[in-house]
Amino acid sequence: MVTAAPPRPAPLRTRRAAPVRYLGPNWYASVMGTAIVATAGAGLPESMGFPGQRPLCAAVWALSLVLLAVLLGARALHWIHHRDQARAHLLDPAMAPFYGCLAMALLAVGGGALTVGRDWIGAGPALALDTVLFTAGTVIGLAAAVAVPYLMVARHRIEPGQAAPVWLLPLVAPMVSAAQAPLLVPHLPAGQARETLLFAGFAMFGLSLLATLAMLPLILARLITTGPLPLPLTPTLFLVLGPLGQSTTAVAAAANAAPGVVPAPFDRGFGVFAVLYGIPTLGFALMWLALAVALVVRARRRGMGFAMTWWAFTFPVGTCVTGVEALARRTGLVVLDGLAVVLYLLLVSAWAAAAVGTGRGVVSGKLLAAPR
């Protein structure tokens, strides 16, 4: 009788990379959530800020930069040694949308470099870092905005009841580019270069906004007809806030950069549009925030425990903070300053809860184990 040869042991390098086998692109949400704590905190009004505001925000930004570097290295090991799992992530309709998080992580850290990171590394290095991360993040974000919907249409097999807020992730990535592009406009040569970048950012605003408006009814219809999301996925309801807050931030940033870049009367039109768009969008965002909080409380009472989806509490809320801050500066309304502070306190609390849960999960090994 012929006996089968015993399986060959995995190469040593592959065995050493075993802890990152199940490290998915969703982990980039921790970078996004950390970076937005820094940039949103730096934008709070001085009269309502906190002691050591700038240094603390710069320290948090530095932490996000370290997290980004660590995750980029870990994900590189994942692709080198566990390509089968990486391909499985792309073909999984629940995991593929998280590839938009890579782009947003790059963009969030890059934008934070110009906002607060320059306090630590200097204006020149901050500009160079943001240029590299903005370029890479924008290219990856635009690719994800096309590739992930393509996979959903051509390769994934999705039932109507599977619609989920994570579908928005690859569509929001270009909106983050739209919010970051105006920061780089003043650093380009005057004339065509500045105007081109400003309008390119505005085009990405339109791309992301219209795609979100097409996707959001599917998500809302699924909630109404099928009922609440499974308990571990309930925090992803906060992802809907992402395109709302980020779009408000984007139009305000474009309005700030438009004077002297685009000819009149378009420069003034950017400012008018920022308010006329931002205020109604803020109203819907607050309504959705109340609905999402109510459903999270319901899920928590039914036993919802910690999962990496808790990072959905951070970046989307942070974009609402930056959006409200921008509207407060443009309108001069004190009530918006107060709202920004309240939302920022919610953001910091959510970040602390997600960070503690992630730390415990990494130490125990639960978050890096094979999914059940």
166 secondary structure, DSSP code: G
pLDDT over 70 (residue 15): no
Work out the average pLDDT over 243-264. 95
Between vectors from CA 328 to CA 255 and to CA 220, what angle results, nearest 5°?
A: 85
User: Is the model's pLDDT at 310 over the cut of 60?
Assistant: yes
In this prediction, residue 215 carries a pLDDT of 94
The whole-angstrom separation of Cα 106 and Cα 35 is 10
Closest CA to 228 of 122, 300, 133: 300
Domain coordinates of the chain in residue numbers?
A: 21-356
CB 149 within 8 A of CB 105: no
Q: Dump pLDDT digits (tens) for 179-208.
A: 999 999 999 999 999 999 999 999 999 999
134 has pLDDT over 80: yes
DSSP-derived letter for residue 114 is I
Q: What angle (nearest 5°) sits at the alpha carbon of residue 67, between those of residues 358 and 10?
A: 80
Question: Which of 44-58, 105-119, 135-149, 160-174 is predicted with the least confidence, judged by mean pLDDT?
Answer: 44-58
Averaged pLDDT score across all residues of the chain: 92
Give the pLDDT band of residue 117 (cuts 50, 70, 90): very high
Q: How far is it, in rounded angstroms, from Cα 47 to Cα 276?
A: 26
pTM for the full predicted model: 0.92
Residue 225 and residue 361: Cα distance in Å, rounded?
A: 34
DSSP secondary structure code for residue 11 in this structure: P
Q: Which of 258-262, 280-284, 292-296, 345-349 has the lowest mean pLDDT?
A: 258-262
Helix intervals (H) in the chain:
12-16, 28-42, 53-81, 83-90, 100-112, 118-121, 123-154, 169-184, 192-226, 241-257, 266-301, 315-331, 334-364
Find the mean pLDDT for residues 312-327.
Answer: 97
Q: Is 109 within 8 Å of 64 (Cβ atoms)?
A: yes
CB 302 within 8 A of CB 231: yes
51 has pLDDT over 60 = yes
220-236: per-residue pLDDT in tens?
Answer: 999 999 999 999 999 99
Quote the radius of gyration of the chain (alpha carbons, Å).
21
CA–CA distance, 203 with 200 (Å, rounded to integer): 5
pLDDT band at 14 (very low <50, low <70, confident <90, very high): low
CA pseudo-torsion sign 112, 113, 117, 119: negative
CATH of domain 21-356: 1.50.10.150
Specify the pLDDT at position 12: 46
Provide the sign of the torsion angle of the four alpha carbons 219, 224, 230, 233, taken in this order: positive
Residue 102: CB partners within 8 Å, gap ≥ 6?
A: 25, 28, 75, 140, 144
Kindly indicate the confidence band of residue 49, based on its pLDDT and cuts at 50, 70 and 90: low
Give dist(CA 319, CA 11) in Å, integer.
Answer: 44
State CA 355 to chain mean position distance: 16
Mean pLDDT to the nearest integer, 126-147: 96
